């Protein structure tokens, strides 16, 4: 119905509660987790088969769609992002088998997790704005429930409510912008919009741009709309925080670049500068707020805001330019950083989750010196922290270098200088984090903690390995991101 | 026929009524109603444009969009009401300003 990878995920999501019932009869605690992992593995295999065709030519599904019918359209950008989603989702599902074992109603957790990933894949596969919106709501609603999953505590409920109010107001703004777009053009399909939508002096085009940017910006947590993120990401179970920080906010970025390059690219208006200012404010705010956090997950959440600022910097460079090589270069940088940030932030959150699982606290003061007790996790945490602050042999360096050089290439020296200062700032607080975790003397409370269980270590080790591999051999990944960027430019 | 402008002004005013409701109301139930108002403003826009785009033709696309979006709004409201119930259990109040233990 919606191409094989999404269908598999939806079917597995719908049947997981039944498996949960069987699990409760059999008394085998890990059945749901294994079932969900198998579903994600099958779906990634289907995605691999699909990508063989889609990388040559964009696929339309259903292939005989009439012009006004809503459809899916899968091109290189969709494949690039969907494979990131399913990659991180697979490891998070493995990690959750151990991490979530003490929670009740675990089958619902996996059903929601699979539905959320299928929603994200639907967002990147969509061929018209309304299909995008429906999958967007699927992703949003499941993520509200997942943030408030541990409803016995006050924190997830409060954070979930705050997240729900802000994010659904954003969704309503998207719908309002889409309605104006529909009124202007009579269609919401990407293919027809890119051909027919010519904005010369129509003020309603700008109005729809403002509404759509605001709505998607809430999800992407750009500066004035970020307030839900530092609450919602720490309050969720850590495996979900890894998904939220790693990939859910990236769907906002995807939707923004898709609509900007598809529809609003030809506008002659100085809103590009506004986007640049917003990106710089986003990264400055995220980094400054992360400097003195005591809560480890809150620190990582603020750092996510800063990374979104970096990605937006590259996008706003691409928007201001007219030379197509610079545009494709900076878009490649942005997309590569989307991938790298998903891997690095996923790794950092999963390591933080392992610390929290063993020590039972999120406060950095109480976690000080836990690296002595959990050497493998702490080493991998250090790899992730060094990667995200841009140390050369690791993957963060590649994309951050590309973002900075795209800023220099386009001649925007002052914003690039601020960007470099922000890189240094983020290095400062990640060094502080490494110092607290690894070099401090462990307190008495941590005496009994030991190394994380193997099911949690496996995803951590694999993500750290992919950090190193992408850092050492970035070329295939850069090619892939470049192809995705070109599929965006030549719709 | 009534002019298109009146409808658009109406839906934009309705949208800002929803924003005002979200910004100022203290009761959580009213905030959920505010979200509903926002979505309905967009729905009215879709319906109006479906009638006015071409003379004598009503676009069925917009109607199907509105039906689906009403269903989605129902889902959001269901989740929101469930969260409000849990918030009431934890805090003993429906006043949203009492929910400020997080620093945000």
Which of A111-115, A133-137, A204-208, B46-50 is the least confident region?
A: A204-208
pLDDT of residue A462: 92
pLDDT at A266 over 60: no
Lowest pLDDT segment from A121-125, A192-196, B29-33: A192-196
Domain of residue B10, residue span: 4-98
Min Cα separation B87/chain A (Å): 6
Both tokens assigned to A13? 């999501």
Non-local CB neighbours of A31 within 8 Å, separated by 6+ positions: A19, A20, A22, A23
Query: Nearest CA to A213 among A181, A246, A179, A170?
Result: A170
Closest alpha carbon within chain B to A169: B35
Q: Break chain A into its structural domains and give their ranges.
A: 270-491
CA dist list (Å): A180 to A208, A397, A447, B68 = 6, 41, 61, 18
Q: Give the strand pairing for A59-61 and A72-74.
A: antiparallel
Q: Do residue B49 and residue A159 have CB atoms under 8 angstroms apart?
A: no
CA distance to partner chain B, nearest, from residue A486 (Å): 31
Q: Report the gap between the CA of B1 and the closest CA in chain A (Å).
A: 18
- Residue A201: pLDDT band by 50, 70, 90 thresholds? low
Number of domains in chain B: 1
Whether residue A197 is predicted with pLDDT greater than 70 in this model: the reply is no
Domain harbouring B46, CATH code: 1.10.287.3510
A137 touches chain B (CB under 8 A): yes
| Interface residue A86 vs chain B (CB under 8 A) | no
Q: Give the nearest chain B residue to A229 (CA atoms).
A: B104
Judge whether A191 is closer than 8 Å to chain B, CB to CB.
Answer: no
pTM of the model: 0.93
The confidence band for A23, taking pLDDT boundaries of 50, 70 and 90, is confident
Give chain A positions within 8 Å (CB) of B23: none
More confident residue, A201 or B20: B20
Task: Please answer yes or no on whether A179 and B101 come within 8 Å at the CB atom.
Answer: no
Q: Give the closest-approach CA distance of A190 to chain B in angstroms.
A: 15
Task: Check CB contact under 8 Å for B72 and A134.
Answer: yes
Q: pLDDT tens, A340-357?
A: 999 999 999 999 999 888
In this complex, do B76 and A145 lie within 8 Å of one another by their Cβ atoms?
no
**Strand intervals (E) in A342-452:** none
| Position A269 confidence tier, pLDDT thresholds 50, 70, 90 | low
ipTM of the assembly? Answer: 0.94
B45 lies in a domain?
yes
Q: Is the pLDDT of residue A69 over 90?
A: no
* Lowest-confidence segment of A139-148, A231-240, A443-452, A478-487 by average pLDDT: A443-452
Rounded mean pLDDT of chain A?
A: 87
Q: What helix, strand, coil percent values describe chain A, rounded to 5?
A: 80, 0, 20
The rounded distance, in Å, linking the Cα atoms of A208 and B45 is 12
pLDDT at site A168: 92
Report yes or no on B8 lying in a domain.
Answer: yes
B103 in a structural domain? no
pLDDT of residue A44: 92
Q: Do B53 and A157 touch (CB under 8 A)?
A: no
Q: Give the pLDDT confidence of A148-176 residue by residue, as tens digits.
A: 998 888 888 989 998 999 999 999 999 99
Which range has the worst mean pLDDT, A56-65, A294-303, A310-319?
A56-65
* B10 lies in some domain: yes
């Amino acid at each position: 119905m919606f191409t094989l990878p999404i269908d598999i995920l939806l079917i597995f999501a719908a049947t997981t509660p039944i498996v949960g019932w069987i699990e409760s009869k059999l008394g085998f605690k890990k059945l749901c987790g294994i079932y969900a992992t198998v579903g994600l593995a099958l779906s990634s295999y289907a995605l691999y088969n699909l990508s063989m065709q889609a990388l040559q030519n964009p696929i339309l599904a259903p292939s005989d769609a009439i012009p006004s019918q809503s459809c899916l359209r899968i091109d290189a950008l969709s494949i690039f992002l969907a494979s990131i989603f399913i990659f991180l989702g697979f490891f998070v599902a493995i990690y959750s088998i151990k991490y979530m074992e003490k929670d009740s109603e675990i089958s619902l957790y996996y059903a929601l997790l699979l539905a959320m990933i299928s929603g994200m894949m639907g967002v990147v596969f969509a061929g018209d704005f309304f299909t995008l919106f429906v999958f967007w709501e699927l992703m949003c609603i499941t993520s509200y429930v997942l943030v408030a999953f541990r409803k016995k505590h006050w924190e997830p409920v409060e954070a979930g409510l705050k997240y729900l109010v802000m994010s659904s107001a954003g969704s309503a703004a998207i719908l309002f912008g889409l309605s104006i777009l529909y009124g202007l053009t009579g269609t919401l399909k990407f293919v027809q919009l890119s051909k027919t939508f010519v904005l010369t002096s129509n003020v309603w085009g700008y109005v729809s741009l403002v509404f759509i940017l605001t709505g998607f910006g809430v999800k992407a947590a750009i500066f004035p709309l970020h307030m839900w993120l530092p609450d919602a990401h720490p309050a969720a179970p850590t495996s979900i925080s890894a998904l939220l920080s790693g990939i859910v906010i990236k769907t906002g970025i995807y939707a923004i670049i898709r609509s900007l390059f598809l529809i609003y690219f030809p506008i002659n208006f100085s809103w590009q500068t506004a986007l640049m200012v917003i990106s710089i404010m986003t990264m400055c705010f995220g980094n400054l707020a992360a400097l003195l956090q005591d809560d480890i997950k809150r620190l990582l959440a603020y750092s996510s805001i800063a990374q979104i600022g970096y990605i937006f910097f590259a996008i706003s460079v691409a928007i201001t330019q007219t030379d197509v090589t610079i545009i494709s270069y900076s878009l490649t940088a942005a997309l590569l950083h989307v991938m790298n940030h998903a891997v690095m932030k996923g790794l950092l959150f999963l390591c933080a989750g392992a610390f929290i699982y063993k020590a039972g606290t999120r406060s950095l003061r109480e976690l000080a010196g836990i690296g002595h007790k959990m050497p493998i996790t702490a080493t991998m945490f250090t790899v992730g922290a060094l990667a995200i602050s841009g140390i050369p042999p690791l993957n963060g360096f590649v994309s951050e270098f590309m973002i900075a050089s795209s800023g220099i290439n386009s001649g925007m020296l002052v914003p690039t200088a601020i960007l470099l200062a922000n890189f240094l700032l983020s290095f400062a607080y990640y060094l502080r984090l490494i110092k607290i975790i690894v070099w401090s003397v462990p307190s008495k409370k941590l005496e009994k903690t030991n190394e994380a269980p193997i099911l949690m270590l496996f995803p951590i080790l694999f993500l750290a390995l992919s950090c190193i591999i992408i850092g050492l051999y970035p070329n295939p990944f850069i090619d892939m991101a470049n192809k995705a960027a070109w599929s965006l430019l030549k719709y | 026929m009534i002019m298109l402008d009146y409808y658009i002004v109406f839906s934009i005013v309705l949208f800002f009524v929803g924003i005002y409701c979200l910004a100022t109301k203290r009761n959580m139930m009213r905030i959920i109603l505010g979200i509903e108002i926002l979505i309905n403003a967009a729905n009215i826009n879709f319906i109006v444009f479906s009638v006015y785009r071409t003379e004598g033709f009503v676009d069925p696309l917009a109607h199907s969009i509105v039906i689906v979006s009403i269903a989605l709004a129902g889902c959001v409201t269901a989740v929101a009401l469930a969260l409000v119930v849990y918030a009431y259990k934890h805090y003993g109040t429906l006043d949203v300003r009492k929910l400020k233990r997080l620093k945000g």
